[in-house]
Amino acid sequence: MEHKIIGPGPYRATKLWNETIELFRAGMSLRKHRVHFKTYENCFSASEAIEYLNDLLRCNQNFGPEVSRNQTIQLLKKFLKNHVIEDVKGRWGKEDFEDNGCLYRFPPSSPLRPFPKKPLYRFERLKFPGWEDTEPEISQENIPVEPIMNSLWYKRHSIAIGEVPASRLICRRELTDANIEEIWKSMTLSHLQKILGLDSLKDVLDAKLVNPKHVMFNVYNTNKQGVVVLEDKSEELPHWMLSAMKCLANWPNFSDVQHPMYVGFERDVFKTIADYHIHLKEPLLTFQLFDAFVNILGVLQKRQVAIEALQVCCLLLPPENRRKLQLLMRMMARISLNKEMPSLSDTVGNRMLMVQTFSRCILCSKDEVDLDELLASRLVTFMMDNYLEILNVPYCLQNTVEEYVAHLRRIQIKYPDSDMAAGLPTHSFCPQIAADEFEFQKANHDQKPLETLLEEIIVNKKLSVKDKKKKLKQFQKSYPGTYKERFPTPESEAAVFPEKRKLKPPLLFFTLKKPFQPFQRTRSFRM
């Protein structure tokens, strides 16, 4: 049974769990074992299971070659706890799995996990507070469209061809802080959905729990290095923790704080940092964003796509989490690349130690029964190698949102005798209509407003001949049918512009004594 790459989509962690179990059950060799003078059929030892499952995971593109033996043991412990396997006496759940010769078997019942029944959070079109009935719904499928009102239709078209009445009212659209926050939230989630190539985020991310204030704070409150600057200092890392992290990140060049130096000092500092992060109440990437980050693992083979998705997801973090993540990632990356840093462990190298130590404090699920160890290790490895790009602000998203907000604030033209006089709200919009309905309205639309507009241009005596010809030409280009009905022949069109009478040359009332000679222009009147 061959493995398949599971891309982004709903319940990705559950799909990976079930696929791993199926591959394990299909490929694990079962044979007869004899222990304490007793024979057991169709079973396997703990060591055999570790060897086979570790090779299986390392060859699987969903997990990668960096899966360690210890991570495989942790996964088999979860298999035993969730009755994917049982010992030969039928015990599971409370038993512990160790790397030894104990015998295990597969239970007869199916160990596959059903998809969780989550409430269907819809990623619906978001409305601005206070604009429920009058303002546009912001989503990638719906853009603001101004309504067509028969009584005011000619004025909207008069703007298009330059016929703006004198009684115009110019105003700006008022956007509150709440409006702008909803725009940021909606466009950020739409951008993430587009990057992941999903039809919806409803089974990947609960949009109701996304705080747009976090997104805006993470975009606009950073220092020169791109690290978030917190306003509330109580949410900052303790001073001693910052000093310890700075010490290892800049090893051996740290001189701002005096530290006692002794053999093994760097290991004690690292243990202090690890203990602090391991005992955090929640992982830095938060429980609610677990599924979103797990889905990014499905596009890791496309490096740039994964970086863009991680940039957006990291914007959704609370500012204090984002700052801690930035500082931790910077320290991890520098330690793993620092050749002068002594080994911080007797069993693994510094790079692997960084991943094994901090993976669970960066990413894990709330129920802790998924493939947390493997998924977190792969994601943290990728983030550590690309942290400078990932933890930068995605300026493409920032520019898109800012341009859209500027568009909404752009000057709008209103008329006292139109929307306001009719008792309508200042901002009025209508949803888009289907193509067949548009064609029906187009075919049955009253042409009277257009004819009235054309006559106003014709009889307007304040316009010069040049301007009038220009406006008529624009009208003809925009509405050729209405123009043809008014001017069926060239003669009818020429009647609008009667020819001017040519002036006769003035009569000469004096006699020329000499033959007439044309006036010759002098070169200069100066002597």
Give residue-wise pLDDT tens across range 35-51: 888 899 999 999 999 99
Confidence of residue 218 (pLDDT cuts 50, 70, 90): very high
Residue at 412 is within a domain: no
Structure tokens at 214: 């976090």
477 in the same domain as 375 = no
State which residues form the domain around 490.
450-516
Give residue-wise pLDDT tens across range 112-151: 877 766 544 444 444 444 444 434 444 444 433 333 334 4
Q: Which residue has the higher pLDDT, 361 or 437?
A: 361
What is d(CA 43, CA 106) in angstroms, rounded to the nearest whole number?
8
Which of 105, 120, 135 terminates a domain? The answer is: 105
Q: Which residue has the higher pLDDT, 64 or 358?
A: 358
Cis peptide before 238 (omega within 30 of 0): no
Count the neighbouring beta carbons within 10 Å of the beta carbon of residue 442.
Answer: 8
474 in the same domain as 380 = no
CB within 8 Å of 69: residues ≥ 6 apart = 50, 54, 99
Structure tokens at 451: 């004819």
96 in the same domain as 244 = no
Give residue-wise pLDDT tens across range 308-327: 999 999 999 999 999 999 99
457 in the same domain as 367 = no
User: What are the strands, taking DSSP E only, across 211-312?
Assistant: none
Residue at 327 is within a domain: yes
Helix (H) or strand (E) holding 413: strand 411-414
* Residue 338 amino acid letter: N
Which of 55, 84, 105 terminates a domain? The answer is: 105
Which of 54, 70, 105 terminates a domain? The answer is: 105
Residue at 119 is within a domain: no
Give residue-wise pLDDT tens across range 251-293: 988 755 555 578 889 999 999 999 999 999 999 999 999 999 9
Burial class of residue 390, CB neighbours in 10 A (0-12, 13-18, 19+): buried
Residue at 256 is within a domain: yes
pLDDT of residue 440: 57
Residue the block writes with tokens 């995971």: 57
Q: Which residue has the higher pLDDT, 200 or 161?
A: 200
Residue 426 reports pLDDT greater than 60: no
Q: Which residue has the higher pLDDT, 31 or 437?
A: 31
Which among 378, 390, 394 has a CA at the least distance from the CA of 294? 378
Percent helix, strand, coil in the chain, to 5, is 50, 5, 45
Q: Which residue has the higher pLDDT, 440 or 327?
A: 327
Contact criterion met (CB below 8 Å) for 154 and 450: yes
